Amino acid sequence: MAKKAKRRGRPPGAKSPDKMDIGQLRQYIERLQAALSHKISEQRAYLEEKLSELTGIGTVKKRGRPPGSGAAKAAKKGTRRKAPPKYRSKKDAKLVWSGRGMTPVWMREEIKGTKLKKDDFLI
């Protein structure tokens, strides 16, 4: 037996929805706008109330700790100190590398085609 094809659209016997004339449509839009403005004013009042509660609590540090708690420490400013060099070039003593990050070009070029290894450049 062959399957029946699914019917699309309104079921048989269903009537088309009622159409509004321009006057009814304008009234409907006005009612929607009034309801939306009412909801907006309610939400604004609620949020302003919550905001006033939060500002009334007192000052709170950036990290969210109340003032006077012993856990609050001053944030460190500046950068880390430079890492000391661990590797030095065989050809040019001025070229050094701390061992952090990508292998420098000078080291790759000196290793290429030789039996030298990274450990051979240790200071």
Alpha carbon distance 57, 69 (integer Å): 15
Please report which confidence band the pLDDT of residue 97 belongs to, taking 50, 70 and 90 as the band edges.
very high
* Span 28-61, pLDDT tens digits: 889 999 999 999 999 999 999 988 888 876 555 4
Amino acid at 26: R
| C-alpha separations of 23 from 16, 20, 70, 79 in Å | 20, 8, 68, 69
Looking at the structure of the chain, the number of domains it has is: 2
Task: Provide the H-helix boundaries in the chain.
Answer: 22-57, 105-111
pLDDT score for 107: 92
Does residue 111 lie within any of the structural domains? yes
Res. 112: pLDDT tops 60: yes
Does residue 63 lie within any of the structural domains? no
Domain boundary among 14, 42, 58: 58
Res. 115: pLDDT tops 70: yes
Res. 64: pLDDT tops 60: no
Does residue 72 lie within any of the structural domains? no
Does residue 81 lie within any of the structural domains? no
Domain boundary among 58, 74, 102: 58
88 forms beta bridges with 96
In angstroms, how far is CA 39 from the centroid of its own chain? 30
Q: Is the dihedral of CA 65, 69, 73, 74 positive or negative?
A: positive
What does residue 35 show for φ and ψ, rounded to 5 degrees? -65, -40
pTM value surpassing 0.75: no
Does residue 80 lie within any of the structural domains? no
Does residue 106 lie within any of the structural domains? yes
Res. 17: pLDDT tops 60: no
Q: Can you say whether residue 20 is alpha, beta or left, with left for phi > 0 and alpha for psi between -120 and 50 degrees?
A: beta
User: What is the residue range of 38's domain?
Assistant: 22-58
Alpha carbon distance 118, 103 (integer Å): 9
